[in-house]
A and B are shown apart, each in its own frame.
Chain A
């Protein structure tokens, strides 16, 4: 008998590359450290867990093809005498009622549910705060997770990430978003080189840790790409290195975002919305998120603010935090403006008091907005909304 809870069988999959060592190498601690997946072989939306040729598998369902759902993928070889003997022994024991057969693990599954009860690695990842149901959508990543051994693969990687300055409470979120950070194929030297590059550009260790926490795909970018992306913001917005650092450390997802989309937003703001380059720079420094938004929504918001409410460009840019309005919901601005207008209070120009602060107008909750800005009750505000 083998050391594992299940008798051994051997499943061989043709054409599957073994990316990672056998379960023997991992000490067989986790019954799931054996699978090698090939998403292309399985149906869409399901990942396949089968084994490389040199791996022993704890699946008791050899003689029962119906349990092996990826039947066309998995092929049973029982040509080795030892295994056969083992199996015969086991069957004999089973008939005598000496052992109880646990339900076999399916060779393919659509969810981690089938494996998580049997895998310590997966259980520990869940305890770390990883959302496995989110990883399921990324089939290659799901298959990587199935093959991990916690002690051998995961633990050193966690120590490494922590040494980069990543806060422990962000760990689960980061690994959920970018499970490829646990990929043994991703070399530690490369990760270290990327962090060293950021440090060489005078990002502090705390900054780097926070950036990884906020933009999990940061470490998946090569040094060359990281450099290109920092240079992009520096050149397009005409920033100093220090300003670039501040901007990207404030919103690190700028580095991992699609530069083509960011460039389109920049072009839209200058060509269509009429902001000058300096205005754009000022706006982006205050609200970096504006570069990651939806282009159509940006245009609609600007149209409402500038053409309908009548707020000029300089007020949108210069008024302290006034550009927060770009981040609030369009419907909220529309309704609140209509309410102010009905009361004759819709003046946002500080040069002609009494005026309404744009920031407070956009950011305050309904109760405070009604009380402090309009001087009305929430009930009146609700009743007003049903008249427009």
Chain B
């Protein structure tokens, strides 16, 4: 009688156990791949804390769905379950009597220690970092980081990347007949490229433009359209805040970030220290 080989015993493992292992590794792989920087599109009237919470929640939910899509069937901890002995006579009967072998299979049994109803969700905490912030009433491209990407965020800050904003202003609340319903006589859009700015400082620009024109002006919307190296097209909308789009986004953005940092290191440009250096271009 032939003794069993390690290789042969592996080939006799039931197929379903491979599927289970596959799903585990998928969740694990996804978790390991969650390292990097990705842009999201922040809607107006949502604070960045709330946005971050939503992102964290959705990522954890997707990871747990991936890991719990089948019951966890693992051999119980501390028990080597070798009591199942399969004699696979039928499989070898066509190879003659010499091929008969006693197969020892390590069978996987449902373990209550690893049961999802005992353990709860596998993934409970994930740390998401945030780049240059946007206040609640602004919208636009917001850089988020997860995993190792969090270490990149200070580098982003040090690099002083220019950001591009579109400011929507309502200019000149001139009333025709002194009635209290003011009629808007001009709507204007300004594009601002700047560093080290805050949203309220940008609103102030609109106010100052109004003063220059001897009129009143107010800012309706501050929208960030570009933060290097991400544009509006790359940013993920709330409907896309899930594991797969985020992983894809991290993957897509990787070369651009590497390239950008490499260029920055090779030719360091003097960057201005304060907010006063912005250039405005008027597009009506």
> Which A residues are closer than 8 A to B by beta carbons?
103, 111-113, 116-117, 122-123, 126, 129-134, 331, 334-335, 366, 382, 385-388
Question: Which of the residues A126, A335, A385 comes within 8 Å of B118, measured between beta carbons?
Answer: A126
Q: Does B45 contact A (CB under 8 A)?
A: yes
Is there contact, CB below 8 Å, between B117 and A385? Answer: no
Q: Does B237 contact A (CB under 8 A)?
A: yes
Say whether chain A's binding surface is mostly helix, strand, loop, or mixed: helix
| A173–B65 CA distance with the chains assembled, in angstroms | 19
Is there contact, CB below 8 Å, between A116 and B118? Answer: yes
Q: Does B14 contact A (CB under 8 A)?
A: no
Q: Does B129 contact A (CB under 8 A)?
A: no
| A111–B119 CA distance with the chains assembled, in angstroms | 8
| A335–B45 CA distance with the chains assembled, in angstroms | 11
| A122–B115 CA distance with the chains assembled, in angstroms | 12
Q: Which residues of B contact A382 (CB under 8 A)?
A: 237, 239
| A7–B166 CA distance with the chains assembled, in angstroms | 76
Q: Which residues of B contact A117 (CB under 8 A)?
A: 76, 111-113
| A46–B241 CA distance with the chains assembled, in angstroms | 35
Chain B 27-52, CB-CB to A under 8 Å as 1, else 0, gives 00000000000000101111000000
| A331–B44 CA distance with the chains assembled, in angstroms | 9
Is there contact, CB below 8 Å, between B119 and A133? Answer: yes
> Which B residues are closer than 8 A to A by beta carbons?
41, 43-46, 76, 78, 111-113, 115, 117-120, 139, 221, 223, 232-233, 235, 237-239
Is there contact, CB below 8 Å, between A113 and B119? Answer: yes
19 residue pairs A–B, Cβ–Cβ below 8 Å: A103-B78, A111-B118, A112-B118, A116-B112, A126-B112, A126-B115, A126-B118, A132-B118, A134-B120, A331-B46, A331-B238, A385-B237, A386-B232, A386-B233, A387-B223, A388-B43, A388-B44, A388-B139, A388-B221
Is there contact, CB below 8 Å, between A116 and B115? Answer: yes
Closest B residue by C-beta to A387: B223
| A131–B119 CA distance with the chains assembled, in angstroms | 9
Interface centre among B120, B139, B232, B238 (most CB of A within 10 A): B120
Closest B residue by C-beta to A366: B239
Distance of B125 from chain A, by nearest CB (Å): 15
Closest A residue by C-beta to B225: A386
Q: Which residues of B contact A129 (CB under 8 A)?
A: 117
Q: Which residues of A contact B119 (CB under 8 A)?
A: 113, 133
Q: Which residues of B contact A134 (CB under 8 A)?
A: 120
Interface centre among B118, B232, B238, B239 (most CB of A within 10 A): B118
Is there contact, CB below 8 Å, between B118 and A133? Answer: yes
Closest B residue by C-beta to A335: B43
Q: Which residues of A contact B120 (CB under 8 A)?
A: 131, 133-134
| A116–B239 CA distance with the chains assembled, in angstroms | 40
Closest A residue by C-beta to B45: A334
Q: Which residues of A contact B76 (CB under 8 A)?
A: 117
Distance of A332 from chain B, by nearest CB (Å): 9
Distance of B83 from chain A, by nearest CB (Å): 16
Interface centre among A111, A117, A331, A387 (most CB of B within 10 A): A117
Given contacts A131-B120, A132-B118, contact A385 B43 (CB under 8 A): yes
Closest B residue by C-beta to A334: B45
Is there contact, CB below 8 Å, between A385 and B41? Answer: yes
| A387–B239 CA distance with the chains assembled, in angstroms | 15
Q: Which residues of A contact B232 (CB under 8 A)?
A: 386
Distance of A125 from chain B, by nearest CB (Å): 9
Is there contact, CB below 8 Å, between A133 and B237? Answer: no
Q: Which residues of A contact B233 (CB under 8 A)?
A: 386
| A385–B118 CA distance with the chains assembled, in angstroms | 42
Distance of A171 from chain B, by nearest CB (Å): 13
List the 4 closest pairs (A to B, CB-CB), nearest first: A133-B120, A116-B112, A132-B118, A126-B117
Distance of B263 from chain A, by nearest CB (Å): 27
| A54–B19 CA distance with the chains assembled, in angstroms | 49
Q: Which residues of A contact B46 (CB under 8 A)?
A: 331
| A52–B187 CA distance with the chains assembled, in angstroms | 79
Distance of A387 from chain B, by nearest CB (Å): 8
Closest A residue by C-beta to B221: A388
Q: Which residues of B contact A122 (CB under 8 A)?
A: 112
| A117–B109 CA distance with the chains assembled, in angstroms | 13
Q: Which residues of A contact B78 (CB under 8 A)?
A: 103
| A385–B235 CA distance with the chains assembled, in angstroms | 11
Closest A residue by C-beta to B238: A331
